[in-house]
Structure formats: structure tokens, C-alpha cells
Chain A
Amino acid sequence: MNPIPVEAIQKAVGDSRLQAAIYSSTGRLMEKRAHSIEPEEIDDFQGLRTQANALKKHAIDNLDYYLEQLEQNVIARGGKVIWCRDADEAVQFVLNLSKEKGVKRIVKSKSMTTEEIDLNEHLEHEKIDVVETDLGEYILQLAHEKPYHIVAPALHKTRYDVADLFTETLHVAREEEPEKQTQIARRVLREKFLTAELGITGANFLIADSGAIVLVENEGNARLSSSAPRIQIAMAGIEKVIPRAQDLATFLKVLGRSATGQPLTVYTSFLSGPRRSGEIDGPEEFYLVLLDNGRTRLLADENKRQSLYCIRCGACLNHCPVYRKIGGHNYPWVYSGPIGAIISPQFHGVTKDPWLPFASSLCGACAEVCPVKIDIPKVLLELRADITLAKRREGAGKWERFAFKVFSYVMQRPKLYEMGSAMAAAVFPGSQGKWVRSLPGLLQGPPIKGWLSKRDLPPPAERSFRALWRERQRSKGAA
């Protein structure tokens, strides 16, 4: 059971430069999204969300069927499908294939699934030159950092940070203009694209009825990663499958808008198998790696399986006041923000980071913007109940359990409740109705201490509502 990373959180909340970077980036994404879903921009966006939710529900409820259909269709197009139970199997497949095919260099486009299994670290360990080609991911690879955000991985880096980083690691003249920085990265990456033997991409959607893989991106690097190298691997979680190509009409409309406020991203690529005879480009070999890594465990729970609907747009992160305060690196896994808070405990077991689902005010801003309508607060509440039960089994959290037992007992006994509140008012140091800044040590339990660290505390009312109400009714009766 890992504790709350209090110091790291304090550091993030107190770092005004970091806060400014997070607020300006997420704020911009929020504004763009809001504009892109206005009725003048698109008909019935809310209806599309409902539709996207229904499609995902259907796909996840019938996952076995659609995955098998997908496999058949990928094979029919000349591709190979690799089923991986966990991260180890997926990593091992890539390592073995690289060894077998003599791969020295790999270009990668942005993929949270490969981040999830720490693929780069494993490849680097085997002395394979693996290069991230999405600009944000490339910046992070140079900085040896994990993504800060699902969609905008280097969201926390200012252009000055990037200028420092490029000068240090690429030994180029310092450039502070983002356009110039892009040119630098482009020069380095072009060479990598042309010399890599293997390209690895993720997948935004896997289409069961056609065996196609859909990639959504803005930089063109995913298209290059999947077409320039001789061999291609697309790696995706099994939950990415959708029934039909025509369902994309719904998903593409909500994905770009929710992520970046774009009606469509700059590139939408459909990849179906390797190069066929007579075609002049495309990979010679194509592998689709389908990763479980805990996903089937989520599937087992009817209330929480909706967590698998996620299409990784990042809107819940942008709109989350907690994410915006603590930033992406204080979440225990590569998936940050509200979606990370509901999937990490389900992948890793609820007792690993038992604080995570509690790090929410349950404000619901995430559910309000989720393009596939995942009821994130509801899943958080369910997880909290799971964690409380798990702690009870392990004999942890005794004081809190005791407190809520007392709470429950008293709240079911009105007389006791009234007596208890009168006692609380009596032991509370007299403050003449003023809000208090501190309390004597004896009264400073953890909750009070937590409250007083940032705020003053109101004293209990001298007379409760019920006391005042009785008096009011009496005086009325007398009048």
C-alpha cells in the first residue's frame, strides 16, 4: 500500500511556473473543445456521445466475438495477430522479432499501450536504437521522462525547457521558437525514418469487420512509422476493437473535438495488412499485437467495465481540477487524470495505491466531457468501497473505520446525535462565533489538522437548527 505522495504533490501545487504551464495548455484545450462542439460547429454533439457510448458498450459486452472477427480479417489481409496476456509477453515478442529480423533501429509513433509496458526501456536495454517520432514523445525521450498527459505528453514543458533540452542533448544552437524547434526534430527524425527496419505504432481503433487499424494524429509521424520501415507492428489493448468501419463516423467526430477541438485530426490513416503485390509502398510484414495486461479482469465487473470504453482523448484530464493542480507525474502510472484514477487500481489491484480513487472531489467535470460517457465519479465511488473492504480484510485503516462506525451509529439515533452535538459545541473553545485558526492539541485529529492547514474552521453554532426551530414554533404557538 503506497502512501499519498504528499511532498511531490505539494511541490507541484506550489510550483507557479509549472502551474502556469499546465493551466495555459489545458485551458487552451478546454476552450478549443468548447468551441468545436457548439451547435454551429456540429449537430447534436450530445447525441453523438450517447451513440459512442452505446457502440462501446456493445463492443465491450461482445468483446470475444469482435476480437475473433478482427483476427480473421487481419489474417485474411496477410497480417499476423499476436495475442499477449501481459506486458512480458508483448515485450518478448518485439524483442524476439527484432532479433530474428536483424532490427537495429525502430521508429515509434505515439502509443500509450507501449508506454504501459515500458517497451522503450526494454528495447534500449537490448541496445536497439528506438526513437519516438511524435514531437512531444521525442522531447520526453530526450528528457528520460514518462508522458505527462495522454494526448499532449510534454504539456508541462515550456518552449524554454525544450530549448535547453535540445541544446544539451542534440548539441544544436539554442532555438526558443517552437517552429524552429520542430525543424530541428524533423531533421533528426527524417534520417531515423529512412533507416529504421521496424516501425511500431499504437492504434486508435481496430475495426472488426474489415481488419483495419485506424491511426489518428496530427504530425504525420504515425503514417511514416507505419509505411517507411520494412516491418510494422501495431500494438493495442484489446478494448480498442469496434464492430464496423461505419462506426468511425461517430467516433472520429467525438475524438478530435474532445481531444484538441479539431473536427478531424490532420491525418487519419487506415492500415490493413502488409503491402500486396502490385503496391509500391507499405511494410512487407505486418503484426497486430493485442494486449490484455489486466483488461479482461476489468471486463468481469459489470459496474466498472465501462472503464474500458475510453478512447484516450484526454478531455477528462484537461477538465479535472485535481489533475491541473497535481500534474501528470504524480499519478502512479502512465495513465493520469480521472481515467488513470479509475483504470490504474483495476489493472494493478486496489491496494497498490489505495489513495488514488480518493484524490477527487467527485466534481464530475470528467464525466461531463467524456466523449463515450464513462461515469467516472461512479466508478471512483465503487473503487472506494472496494478499497475500504480490502483494507478491512488486511486490518488497515482502523481509525477511519472506527470513526465511520461511530458516525453511522450516532446518525441512526437522533437523541444521541443531539447530545453529541451539544457536547461538541461545549468542548469547542469559545470563539464568540468567530472562525478559528487553530485548536488545542487534543482536538487536532488528522481531519481537523488537514482542514486547518489551509483554512479557518467555523465553530459549531451555539444553538442548533433544531433548537432554534423548537423556539420558533413555540413563539408562533404563543402568538
Chain B
Amino acid sequence: MSRVSLFVTCIVDQVFPKVGLAMADVLERLGYQIDFPEAQTCCGQPAFNSGFWDEARGVARHFMDVFEGAEYIVVPSGSCTSMCGHHFADLFQDDAAMLARAHAIESRVYEFSKFLTEVAQVEDVGASFAHTITYHDSCHALRELGVKAGPRKLLSRVRGLTLKEMDVAEECCGFGGTFSVKFPDVSGGMAQTKIDSILRTGASHIVSIDSSCLMQLQGVISRQGLPLETIHLAEVLASR
């Protein structure tokens, strides 16, 4: 069976480590050999999105060094996957040698659910999760990676789970990295629109494939004391 290298992302490493463990559990159950290159840190997206491209380039180069020989790089985030798979090429557009390395990453880096549905080609991973959930499409996964049906297929095979779609599933949660702290009123307003829509579904859990979106939504839920919980898809799929 193939070997997969986990890039757990800095936010999962530092704040939501259970998401990374859940992802490893699911992949191991499917028979994959798991490798966690310990020198990994971040993809550099915060600096890139803030206009600090020189600073982002250093981090991107570090990422490429760390994952040099990896066959598959699996990531529990659409946003970080998109950074490595699409935007490394923007960073190195004027550096032919590095651009070639950036392009070599593109076909090997996979968002977790996309890896399951497209490479492992599974839908039923044997999970049970007896709750009514709603699925939040994270923007970069949806629009830059084309991830839309995959997570829903995976969820539809989870025993006991009911998926209730919200009316604005594809609308941004308002996180947007530093946008969330530079424009807190707008970001908070966007989260509120999303939360209002989620509450209308009657779901008890919000599932997403990006921990950063879930941090934004959970932050509002916690502040307002709402009867909702956020959970990463990997954790749902690891549940038995």
C-alpha cells in the first residue's frame, strides 16, 4: 500500500491536534503507511495573503524541502492545500527552478477528503456518528480545489448521520486569515449570517474540512452560548 505523508498544518498542530490524529486513524484503517515529517511547520499562507511574499517564500521553500520525496501529501485543510498546490507557483513565478519544484508539488498534495474519494476511492470508511449535521463548504476547497460532492458522499455513508443542508452552504464564514482581525465587524457579520442559516437547519453539529473556518464559527458559538458544535470531517470519519 502507498505511503502518505501528513501535513497537519500549523493550526491543527497547535490548536486542534485531535483532527490530525483522526486523519491518521482513518488513513491507517484504509491500510496506508503514515509518515509525519517532523520538520514541518506552516505553508506560509498567512504571510502570502498579507502581501509579505518574501517572507512567505522562505516558508514555502522550507515546506518543499521537508516534503521533497513524499509520494502523497495529505492535508486536513482545503485552504492550506490550495496554498501549496496553487499559490506556491504565484510566489515563484519569476524563479524557474523554484517554479518547477512548486509545480511538482501540485499533483502530490491532496486535501484529506479529496484524497479519500479520488485516490483511495472510498466512500464508506466504516464510521458511525449519530447526529444531525450540516456541512460548511470552505471557500478554497470549493472554488480552488473543486471539492463539493466528495465530503457529502463520505458523510452520506456514515452510520446514524443525517445531513441537513443550510441555505448558504457556499457562503464564506468570514474567517479569511488576517481579514478576521483587521475587519472584525465585517468578519463577525459574515459569521453571523452563516450561523443564522445553520441554526435554521436544526443541526447539532457543523462539519467542515477546514479547522480555520470551524475556529471562526466555534468562536461565535462559544461567545453567544449557542447549542451547536463544530467538528472536522476527519473526526466524524474516525468515529465508530
Interchain CB contact (< 8 A) of A461 among B16, B143, B175: B16
Q: Can you name 4 extra interface pairs (CB under 8 A) apart from A322-B183, A368-B143?
A: A10-B185, A361-B174, A362-B139, A450-B180
Name the residue of chain A whose CB is nearest to the CB of B53: A385
Q: Please state if B56 and A408 are interface contacts (CB–CB under 8 Å).
A: yes
Would A321 and B190 be within 8 Å (CB), given that A435-B219, A447-B181, A460-B15 are in contact?
yes
Would A363 and B172 be within 8 Å (CB), given that A401-B52, A412-B41, A454-B220 are in contact?
yes
Q: Please state if B17 and A388 are interface contacts (CB–CB under 8 Å).
A: no
Q: How far is the CA of A71 from the CA of B183 in the complex (A)?
A: 46
> CB-CB < 8 A to B53: which residues of A?
385, 388
Which one, A120-128, A261-269, A335-343, A464-472, is touching chain B?
A: A464-472
Q: Please state if A388 and B186 are interface contacts (CB–CB under 8 Å).
A: no
B118 in the interface (beta carbon within 8 A):
no
B187 in the interface (beta carbon within 8 A):
yes
Interface pairs (18), CB distance under 8 Å: A9-B185, A321-B174, A322-B183, A361-B179, A364-B139, A365-B172, A381-B51, A407-B59, A408-B56, A408-B59, A412-B58, A414-B40, A417-B41, A435-B218, A446-B181, A454-B188, A458-B219, A461-B15
Near B by CB (< 8 A), chain A positions 95-135 give none
Q: How far is the CA of A326 from the CA of B179 in the complex (A)?
A: 14
Near B by CB (< 8 A), chain A positions 372-411 give 378, 381, 384-389, 400-401, 404-405, 407-411
Chain A residues within 8 Å of B, Cβ to Cβ: 4, 6, 9-10, 13-14, 321-322, 325-326, 355, 358-365, 367-368, 378, 381, 384-389, 400-401, 404-405, 407-412, 414, 417, 421, 424, 435, 437, 446-451, 453-461, 463-469, 472
Q: How many A-B residue pairs have CB under 8 A?
A: 205
CB distance from A447 to the nearest CB of B (A): 4
Q: How far is the CA of A435 from the CA of B143 in the complex (A)?
A: 30
What range describes how many residues of B lie at the interface? 35 or more
Near A by CB (< 8 A), chain B positions 175-203 give 175-191, 193
Name the residue of chain B whose CB is nearest to the CB of A368: B143
Main secondary structure of the interface of B (DSSP, over half): helix
Would A454 and B15 be within 8 Å (CB), given that A367-B143, A381-B48 are in contact?
no
Would A407 and B46 be within 8 Å (CB), given that A9-B185, A466-B38 are in contact?
yes
CB distance from B47 to the nearest CB of A (A): 5
Q: Please state if A465 and B186 are interface contacts (CB–CB under 8 Å).
A: no
> CB-CB < 8 A to B228: which residues of A?
none
Would A405 and B55 be within 8 Å (CB), given that A9-B183, A455-B216 are in contact?
yes
Q: Please state if B222 and A408 are interface contacts (CB–CB under 8 Å).
A: no
> CB-CB < 8 A to A464: which residues of B?
13-14, 17
